[in-house]
Chain A
Amino acid sequence: DTEVTQTPKHLVMGMTNKKSLKCEQHMGHRAMYWYKQKAKKPPELMFVYSYEKLSINESVPSRFSPECPNSSLLNLHLHALQPEDSALYLCASSGRRGTANTEAFFGQGTRLTVV
């Protein structure tokens, strides 16, 4: 199984809503990531979890709250978002044995629209 699965694929939410993005991987990877990507731009790192602990927070606003319930799951809780937060949110994992630690495997992303 070489997939990173993200749900939902599309999400439209109002600025007062609370929603969550979910990510799952079963490759035994020890690092999981949230990225934000705008059209035709590279992914921007938001958070990194390493061995289920938050290791990097790229000064992300508190309206984004990550959670890593176990080594296979990663959530991103959203609350009081702004229209400029509309983007493709990508989950990735890395750390497969026998490969460079940084080789990232991405999910298909969640296309988020904030109205």
Chain B
Amino acid sequence: TQLLEQSPQFLSIQEGENLTVYCNSSSVFSSLQWYRQEPGEGPVLLVTVVTGGEVKKLKRLTFQFGDARKDSSLHITAAQPGDTGLYLCAGARAGNNRKLIWGLGTSLAVNP
């Protein structure tokens, strides 16, 4: 059973297009994190969202945490080839915060 459903799994777009990646669950998370990973490297933390309804912006990336803290989205505006990578969401549950629940990842390719 996958506790954190991430979609889409694969995405190939042209430079300049917009995209949205979703992470959905039936469980409540105390916080949710987004990571980006390039081939042969470890994941790099992009953002943590904690409060239901929270919106955070990181340049062209916008992250949102659902009101009920069960889902999150990542929106990229005007994608660039440097955005290519594996995007992973990971949720922390109250009382078990040493163990993250990971989505399956979205492999994004932005073509010039």
- Measured CB to CB, the residues of A under 8 A from B are 4, 31, 40-43, 45, 48, 50, 55-56, 88, 90, 92, 94, 99-109, 111
Q: How far is the CB of A39 from chain B (nearest CB, A)?
A: 9
CB-defined contacts of A42 to chain B, threshold 8 Å:
88, 90, 102-105
Closest to B105 in A: A42
Closest to B10 in A: A40
Considering the chains assembled together, what is the distance between the CA atoms of A90 and B43 in angstroms? Answer: 9
Q: How far is the CB of A112 from chain B (nearest CB, A)?
A: 13
- Tell me the number of A-to-B contacts counted with CB atoms below 8 Å: 68
Q: How many residues of B contact A (CB 8 A)?
A: 24
Across the interface, A40 reaches (CB within 8 A) one of B31, B48, B105, namely B105
Across the interface, A41 reaches (CB within 8 A) one of B35, B100, B105, namely B105
Considering the chains assembled together, what is the distance between the CA atoms of A86 and B42 in angstroms? Answer: 16
CB-defined contacts of B61 to chain A, threshold 8 Å:
none
Contact of A40 with B40 at beta-carbon distance under 8 Å, contacts A48-B98, A102-B100, A104-B45 already known: no
